[in-house]
């Protein structure tokens, strides 16, 4: 996929819609520009795991975290 963007006098660019979609970024997200030899790579900066929203879905009634899971298993085993 090849898309073009223009740099403003303030050094700003508008990332084309198709590129934003491919990167999975939304307004307010950050992009990282990495120089790799003669080329530059652009990738999104992930501060949270994209799977965070699914955490705990398969275990209703069990709190989050290792300690909570261990306590739940011990209670289940009668210890």
Domain annotation covers residue 54: no
User: pLDDT, tens digit, for every residue of 3-46?
Assistant: 999 999 999 999 999 999 999 899 988 999 999 999 999 999 98
Domain count of the fold of the chain:
1
Dihedral class, residue 46 (left if φ above 0, else alpha if ψ from -120 to 50, else beta): beta
Domain annotation covers residue 10: yes
pLDDT band at 56 (very low <50, low <70, confident <90, very high): low
Determine the pLDDT at residue 44. Answer: 92
Contact 27, 38 (CB under 8 A): no
Domain annotation covers residue 66: no
Domain annotation covers residue 21: yes
Domain annotation covers residue 52: no
CATH code of 29's domain: 2.10.260.10
Range of the domain at 10: 1-47
Domain annotation covers residue 57: no
């Amino acid at each position: 996929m090849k898309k073009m963007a223009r740099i403003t006098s303030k050094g700003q660019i508008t990332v084309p819609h198709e590129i934003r979609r491919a990167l999975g970024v939304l307004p307010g997200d950050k992009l990282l520009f990495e120089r790799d030899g003669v080329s530059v790579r652009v990738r999104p900066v992930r501060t949270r795991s994209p799977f965070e929203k699914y955490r705990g879905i398969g275990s209703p009634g069990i709190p989050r975290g290792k300690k909570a899971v261990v306590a739940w298993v011990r209670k289940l085993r009668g210890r």
